[in-house]
Structure formats: structure tokens, C-alpha cells
Amino acid sequence: MKNSSKKLQILLLLPLIAMQIKCGSSKNAAANPGKAESWITTADESSKLKKQDDLVFGTETNSNQTIEVNPSEKFQTIEGFGFSLTGGSAQTILKLDKAKREALLQELFSRKNDAIGLSYLRISIGASDLNEKVFSYDDMPEGQTDLKLEHFNLGPDLNDVVPLLKEILAINPQIKIMGSPWSPPVWMKDNGSSKGGSLQPKYYEVYAQYFVKYIQAMKSHGIVIDAITPQNEPLHPGNNPSLLMLAEQQADFIGNHLGPAFAKAKIKTKIIVYDHNCNKPEYPLTILKDVKANPFVAGSAFHLYEGDISALSTVHDAFPNKDLYFTEQYTGSGSSFENDLKWSVKNVVIGSMRNWSKNALSWGLANDEYYKPFTPGGCSTCKGALMIDQNQNIKREVGYYIIGHASKFVPEGSVRIGSNIAGNLYNAAFKTPSGQTVLIVENDGTSAETFNIKYNQKQISTTLNAGAVATYVW
């Protein structure tokens, strides 16, 4: 009897022992990595987000420059990587046959197989300049107003942006969505035009309710708006549509109208200020210093057509409890794959991450072979991540690879961890929710660089061509 009871005890303990061994081995695997996978995009386009042979970690030393990844040094939590789903982008994608569209959306938004796992989208509240025509959600005949917003409706967005978002949400229900207006309804403006002018203070309260109605209308379609900015590029009134909104005006609008309207309507959507270039960090700082506006503000958003990406850290250092976002950078029809890849990965992806941004977004997701649609006076040279021609051929442009090098490997909830810049090798490192380590490297030099990646006293040695980008995962 004694022997059989002992055997029974041993049999009962075996699964526990096996589990402990398994847990211990997975911890050791994380602490002592064996292999690293890698994907590379080269300046000459011979490799585009292409998987390479695995690299093996070892203890051999050499005199190569070294990127050391430090998982104990933790920075911001990542919310996602992606693009703007402009009205034009949605229109272009919806022209695809159903099967082709479904396959494309899986490739863009799922985390399966060769998908790039986009996790963040920005959309325009009303038309952007990458819509076919200008509209707001409450357009009125000239000389008329709608103070109670009785005519409010999502208009043209119901034909393209809303249905496409529903298809995207079916693939990734967690995707983050940010809304940004290019212009309020023209009857609220002092120049009565979609282009330029300013929001009249007497309409601040009505405009705050316009945002409330927008968020509620989208929610009625199952679309949750995670964040809004009060105005896209508030210091660029020359676009169509556009609006001039100075920092003091935005502070007044948020502190006395938009913030209280959200609170009263129990809206949890984050208010993100500025949404313009890195050359004016004083704009978001003015709002964050405003006693009334500050409590309603979750963070600040930036573009990089002017200034330096370090502006994000300037704002972070002044207000470390407020978040940072990088919300737009275009790739243009007049630039090369090589130049856009180098510059954007260095600045938009790696630069924004090393300066506290919680996301990194390029501009339009898709357009046709003529860079259409765009509004009269809108951007005629903005190149989408995808070019879809009249015959439904899909070309993946440079923006696809710029963002794909991050979105495919760094899901929402990842945390940026420590890594040093080694010579021309710009980089950013992350720990994912599943415990993987991800390192994105761009060789900003003019020749190939051989270097080490060091992690927990072990290292791999590898080479990256000039202007090439690599993502390493272990």
C-alpha cells in the first residue's frame, strides 16, 4: 500500500515539476536569448521587409561598434503605428473587389502570417484636403446658421470612411482611432470660407457640441474615437480646408468649452492639443500652462515638416505627466524610396519613439495613380502607403515599409526600453506584451556597417547596408 501511495504522489507531482521546468526554461530563454529573427528593407528596394536568416547570440567579443539593449530601462507605453484613413483613402480601397479588399485589409490590420498589424488610425472630422470635395457635418446655405446643430450628420463619411472602418474593426477591434478637423462649418468662421479664417468666439460653445455629436454619432456605428485634436495644423491656414487657431484661442476653447462639454456628456475621448510642426513647442506649452485647459488635456501631437523631433522631449520635460503623439508625416511624389525610407524611419519612427511619443503615424493610407482624390487646393503630391490604380493593381509604396518595420513587430501595449545610438546606427528598442524584444535599426551612413547587438551579456554580430532598415526580434 505504501509503495502504491508513493507512486500516486509522484504521478500527481509530475505535471507540477514539468510546469516548473517549462517556466524556468522560458525565463532563461528571455534572459539568455538563443536566436534573433530579422527583417530588412534596403535603399535599392532589392529587399522589402524581407525575412533574413536567423542570427545566433554568443559570447565572442570583437571591436565592432555595439548597440546594447537594456530591458531594465523603461520609457513610454506604445499605443500604435499606422496612417491616416482619409476619405480619399477609404474611397480608393472600397473600389477594390470584395475578395481583394478583404485580403488587403487582413494584410494591413491583422497580426497573422505576413500581415503588418497596423494598430492606429487617424481620420478627419469632416473633410481633409485628401477628400474629393470639401464638407463639414453641418453645412448650411450662405447666411444661415444652425446653433442647435439640428442638421448635423456624418454626410459623405457614411459612404466610405464609416463602412471601411467597420470592416477594419472586424479584423482588429482594438485599433485606436484619432479624429482631427481641418475646418469647422464655414458659418462658424469669421471669413465664411473653408480655407483659412478663424473660429468666431461666439460659436465656441456650439463647436464644442459639434465634437460631442461627432463622437456620439461614430459610437452609434460601433466606432469608438479614442482621441481628438481640436484642429489639424492650426498655424497653417493656407490649405483647403483649414483654420487658423492660435494657442491662446485653443486654450480658451478647451478650458471653457470643449473640456466641460466632454465632462458633461461623460465622454472619455482624449483631447490632444496642437497637431502641428516641431518648430513651435511653445504652442502646446502655452495650453498646458493654462490653468483651465490643462486638466482636460491628455497630451500634445506633432508633425515634422519643420523643426526637430526633439521638440517632443522639450514638452515632455516640462509636463512629464502629459502624453506625446506623432500624428502626421507625408511621403511625396517628388522624393525617392531611398531618401524617404532613411529620413522617415530615422525621424518619424525611431526619432518620435526616442522622444516619448506613444504612436507614429504617416499620412494617407491610399490613393490612385494620379495621387487623387484631393480637394481643389489640397495636396496633389501626397503619396499614400498604397497606390491602387484603375485596374485594381496594388503597389506598396515606401510609407508601407516605413511604418511596417514597426507595426508588424511592436503591438499596442509594448514598452520602449533602453538602447544606445552607435555611430550612424539610429535605433529604438521595445519589450512587447508577450515578452519579445524588438530592435529597429536604420543605417544613416553612406557605407555598410558591421555591428553588434548586445543583450544580457550575449551578442550577435550583423551587417546593415547604407540607408537600409532592419527590425530584429528575439
The catalytic residues are 233, 328
Confirm if 471 and 408 have CB atoms less than 8 A apart.
yes
Distance CA 355, CA 278 (A): 12
DSSP-derived secondary structure letter, 103: H
**35-41/50-51 β-pairing:** antiparallel
Count other Cβ atoms within 10 Å, centred on residue 248.
Answer: 13
Q: DSSP labels for 270-334?
A: EEEEEEEEET-THHHHHHHT-TTTGGGEEEEEEEEEEE-TTHHHHHHHH-TTSEEEEEE--EETT
Question: What is the C-alpha to C-alpha distance for residues 182 and 382, in angstroms, rounded to an integer?
Answer: 16
Q: Residue 452: helix, strand or coil by DSSP?
A: strand
Residue 231 amino acid letter: Q
Based on its alpha-carbon atoms, the radius of gyration of the chain, rounded to whole angstroms, reads 24
Whole-angstrom distance between the N-terminal and C-terminal Cα of the chain?
50
Rounded to whole angstroms, the Cα distance separating 279 from 311 reads 7
Residue 227 falls in which region: left (phi positive, over 0), alpha (psi -120 to 50) or beta: beta
Amino acid code (one letter) for 35: K
Cell reading at 2: 505504501
**Residue 296 contacts residue 273 (beta carbons within 8 Å):** no
3-state secondary structure of 154: coil
Q: Are 315 and 284 in contact (CB under 8 A)?
A: yes
Set of cell numbers at residue 148: 442647435
Which residue, 176, 200, 172, 169, is CA-closest to 187? 200
- Measured CA to CA, the distance from residue 412 to residue 84 in angstroms comes to 17
Between CA 394 and CA 355 the distance in angstroms is 34
Q: Grid coordinates in use for 202?
A: 461666439
Cross-strand partners of 425: 422, 443
Amino acid at 74: K
